[in-house]
Structure formats: C-alpha cells, structure tokens
Amino acid sequence: MSQNKITVLMTALSLASTALASNPLLENYNTPHQTIPFNVIKIEHYFPAFEEAMKQHNTEVELIVNNSAAPTFENTIVALEHSGALLSKVSSPFYNLLSAETNDKMQEIAEKISPLMSEHSNAIRLNEKLFARIKAVYNKKDELKLSPEQKMLLKETYDGFANNGANLSDSEKATYRELSKELSILTLQYGQNVLKETNKYSLLITNKALLAGLPADFMEMLASNAKKSKKEGWLLNLKTTTVVPFLKYAENRDLRRELYMANSTKCMLGGEFDNRENIKKIVNLRLKIANLLGHKSYADYELVDRMAQNKKNVYDLLDKLLIAYKPVAEKEASEIQAYADKNGAYFKIQPWDWSFYSEKLKDEKYAINDELTKPYFELENVKKGVFGLATRLYGINFTKNTKIPVYNKEVDAYDVTDENGKFLAVLYTDFHPRDGKRAGAWMNDFKPQMMDRKIDSRPHIVIVMNFTRPTASKPALLTFDEVTTFLHEFGHSLHGMLTKCTYESLSGTNVYRDFVELPSQIMENWATEKEFLDGFAVHYQTGEKIPADLIQKIKASENFNAANFCLRQLSFGYLDMAWHTIEKPFHSDIIYYEKQAMASTQILPTLSNTGMSPTFSHIFSGGYSAGYYSYKWAEVLDADAFSVFTKNGIFDKKTAASFRKNILEKGGTEHPMTLYKKFRGQEPNIDALLKRNGIN
C-alpha cells in the first residue's frame, strides 16, 4: 500500500474514531442517576452508535465462544446475560422515542436499523458454538446447585435459542434469517403506517351549530387544534382525545358517522399507508417461522411459555367468558335501543350511535357523566392521588427532579425513594398527545433493574399516555377512563420500579405475557374506592372535596355496559387468535375473515367496509401476537387478587407487602403461577371477576 493511501486510511480511521468518541450514546452519562442525556443526543448519533454497539456485542459473544475453559453457568450463561450492555443502552432511548417522539428522520433510521438488528440477533441465536456451550450447561442443570432465579435464567436462555432456530440445519437457519428479517421490516412499516394515517386526517368545522352537544372545554380544544393549523373554526382529528368524546357527545349524527368511519377505515382504503397486504405478509411469515420451528401455527409457537400453555386453554377462557357475558350484553344493548327509541331515534343503533346513547342513558340512570366528574380530576391532583396510593401501600415517595434531562418539555422526571429515603428508581411521565406519539398508553423502561457487580442498579421507567390537554382557560381535566388508564400504566411502572432481581432479562415486567397485566389491572380497582378518591379528588376551581354522593354514583355506574365492554375485549382476543391459529398461508379477504372471527361477540350491526385488523397495532407491531387474550386472563387474576385487599382492607399494609414481595419484586424469576399462589394461597378462578362485574 502506498504511503498516500496509508495516510488517507489513517485519516479516515481518525475521523471515525473522533465521531464515535464524541457520540454521547457511547459515553458514560454524567447526569443524575446516569439518566439518558436527551439534551445532547441528536438524531445523527443513533446510527453510528448502533453500529458500534453491535460490534462490541459481537466481540463479547466471541469471547464467550472462544473461552478455552469448559462451559459453566457463570462463564457462559451469566456472561451472555451481561453481554450487549452498550447495545441495550443505545436501543433504549431510540425505540422509546420511536413510539413517543418520532419523526421522519427517526423512522428512516428505524427502517435501516431494523434488518441490521434482526440479522445481529440471528447471528447470535444461530451461533452453533455458542449454543453448544449453552446446551452443555443446560444438560447438567440437575447436577448444578442453582437458585430458582438461576434455574429460570438457564431455562430462558436455552429456550431463547432453541425456540429461535438454534436446532435448525444450516439451510433452515438461512431461511429463518431471511424470514425474521423480513418480518421485522414489515411490523415496523405496519406501525408507521398507522401513525401516519392517523396524523393525515383532519376535518375543519366552521359552523358552530354542527357541534351541538359538545362540552365547552372540548370545543376549546378543537378550536386550539384549528389555531395551531392556522385555521379558523374547530378542527377534528383521529386522536383518541378527539374521537372518544366526539362520539360520546356530538348530537349531529352525520358527523358522528363521518368521524367513526374515518377512524374505522384507517389503513384499508388504498394508498401508501394501506396495511392489508402487510397483514397477509406478516401472518404468513409468522406461520412459516412457526412451521420451520416444528409448530402447526404461530399460536402454538408463542403459547409454549405462557400461563395459558396452549390455544385450547386460551379458547376455553374466551368461550367461558363469552357464555357468561353475552346474554347480559344483549340485555344492555336492548336497553340502550329502547332508550334511543324513546328519545326520537327512528333507526337501529349503529356503532357511531352507541357511545352517544350509552352516555345519555348512563346519565339518566345514575346522574353521572364525564362533565360532572372531570372538574375533580385535574391532572396534577390525580398525580398526587396515584403517587399517594403507592406511598400508602408500599411506602415509596416521588420527588420531581428538574435536573434530569427529558425528551420533551411536557415530560416530568421523578426520583422514587423508599420509606427510608433510599433511591429506588427514576420515573418519567408523559401525558399528552403529539403528532410524533403513537396512540394508546404504555409503560417501558429506559434502563432495567439488575445486579451489577453486586450493586443493585436501579431502573429508569417511563409511562406514556394520550390524555386530554389543558386549554387556554382550564388545566388538564381527566375523564374517569383516563384516571383508570393512569392507574393501569402506573401499575406497570410499580412492577418495573420495585423489582429486586439479579438478572436484567428476568427483572421487572420481563414475565409471561399473560401475567404482565396483573400488576397494572389490579391498580384500576382503587379507582372507584371512596377512601382513595377522598384523598385527592377536589374541584380544580373551588377546592371542594368530591361529594360523597358523586362517588356513590361512580361506584353505582361501575358496571354500566360492563358486559359489552367484555365482549369488545373478547372480540379482539378471538381476532388475534384467528390470525395466529391459521395452519395454511392466508390469501383471502382480510376484512371478511375478520368479521367471521369476531362474529360470536357482535351485538351491534357489523359494517362490511370497516376493519380492526389494519390498525390492530397490539398484535401486528406491538408484541401481543397470540397474546391479546392476556388482558382477560390477567383480569381474572386481578379480580381474584383484589378480593384479598377487599377482605383485609384496600390499604392493608400486610396484603400490600405480600403482593410486593411475591409479585412486584420477583419479575420473571419463577413461574408466574408459583408466584401467584405464594401471594393468594390458591389458583385463581373466574368467580371474583363475575362477581365484580355483577354477572352472577
């Protein structure tokens, strides 16, 4: 090589080294609790950081593979568990922000990174020498003196390789690599299409009379939407904070239908964001992967490591609930139709009418509606109430820390400490919708908990929601549903914050999919308890405590349309299972198949030109494939578990301590049924759920 070429090469290497050295994602974080320095991270830092992190991970894996010592639990299983720390550090902010604060540049990077990350993961999982070492340790598991947590780590490590192609032949491994890479790209594209299609829609209303029935603060929000778009009038969009209240209150039936149809036909009317072909490709790729790994269907593959264990048990639960709830749901629907008829409806109730007449009937029966309760649920007060609940149950405290960098000015960060002032976690809260945030609500971690060289490295947790924004004249006032959503996601955060595990992959919410919703759903039970509401629910203007009779109305209306809500959840569970129990490639009509799958749960007229599947992000891009039933599975668990609190007192310290010790702290270190029985003393059944919903 000429001297000139050597100089050019050295210069290039020097520039590359400088670029990496100045990349904050690759440096130690000099921030409180080593939180992510969002204030200095730029979009252009992500791709080179991913590349470097994958290189380092490969080097760490090679050291394990080439270790001349015989395979042991420590030098193979634990060493592998600790590898890839830098990649996790880089991935965490990127993928969290891809959901909560995305833009076109982030999505372009995601499209480049997705196949690379898929290939990187496959290269490790399909490494024959590495798997040989893992298998050698696994085959001696009965001879090793391992703790329950170590046994679970060994099992999860072995299964993670065996269930992801490690036992395949070379040609099959090559096929698996291509299938999984293609699948990762398609699921990413599916999710991006949903967000882009949602953001694309807007409807400007300039005649105020068309918006009769809408509450004043909601009107103010719609006017603010228009103003932000430099328009005059009231601007409708497809964000949940617009669609839900509009369908509930708008008297104009034509506009209700317009918004309902726009929301229910997203990603299925042609154009660049249509997801119908993506769905076919995704389910067929999943079927191919399942077949390659020796399973008849993708559900068979996914349910191996679930409490449900197999699709028969899933369908048994769904069918039992359907039998119990459908007759009640039919009575509820008849009651609402009769109410609509009495109040001048000349038509059979359609889906865009359901919320409107349901809300009217609920108000008539119980004298309760969101406009009566919202003044008592000002966001800051609700935060105090929810945080205060954790203080009463578990002795933990929350202190806002403005020195922690955040990824958006609307995000707050809190130091979470125990009753002795010892640091437990960082909690980020992100409450309001933005164009760069996907719909829904979720919890995640920026840094999981683990033992790092015998030091308890505490987690950094984020909860993200899409709650009603404050307006020019009012603070953010939450609906009762938003209050329960807050409690739900906060329950997930407690699971993440209170965990006390040795290994990252088993800590916090790293549990079976049909167990993960227990800690979240149990928190919703406090939402209708007077003792809880009395502690924080005061009128945002007068400071008046929420009246006892209003709490009673909330409690009395708790089961209003509960059976129909259950059927709605069951319909999603049946649809998910339909897509993932196919045993032959799917080439039929997406929407027709969907209607057939959900038919047994439908009470209202079904519309052939609307669909759920094209925007069902939970199962096509969100990790709940063959797992949506878990919400109902966990609801059985949470009703059964809360019955202990009901019996002993909803703030009973002993019961809370047992739930914390046996559920929240344990993560996935033992089988979830083992953990549940340690808390409850027995296996759950559906009786407590039926009783709570007034079904029996």
The residues that are catalytic are 489
Asked if residue 68 lies in contact with residue 422, where contact means CB atoms within 8 angstroms, the answer is: no
Distance of CA 36 to the CA centre of its chain: 21
Task: State how far the Cα of 502 lies from the Cα of 482, in Å rounded to an integer.
Answer: 35
Amino acid, single-letter form, for residue 94:
F
**Residue 545 DSSP one-character state:** B
Q: The tokens of 674 are what?
A: 């083992």
Distance CA 348, CA 335 (A): 12
Torsion, Cα 166 167 173 178, to 10 degrees, reads: -60
List the one residue out of 326, 328, 333 whose CA is nearest residue 574: 326
3-state secondary structure of 297: coil
Q: How far apart are CA 479 and CA 467, in angstroms?
A: 9
- Dig out the tokens for 405 from the structure: 């960098």
The alpha carbon of 602 is separated from its chain's Cα centroid by a whole number of angstroms, namely 25
Residues 6+ apart with CB under 8 A from 140: none
Strand, helix or coil at 207? coil
- The torsion region of residue 623 among left (phi > 0), alpha (psi -120 to 50) and beta comes to left
In sequence order, the 6+-apart residues with CB closer than 8 A to the CB of 373 are 479, 480, 550, 554
Copy the structure tokens of residue 254.
Answer: 């034509």
Are the beta carbons of 302 and 627 closer than 8 angstroms? Answer: yes
> Quick one: DSSP state of residue 303?
G
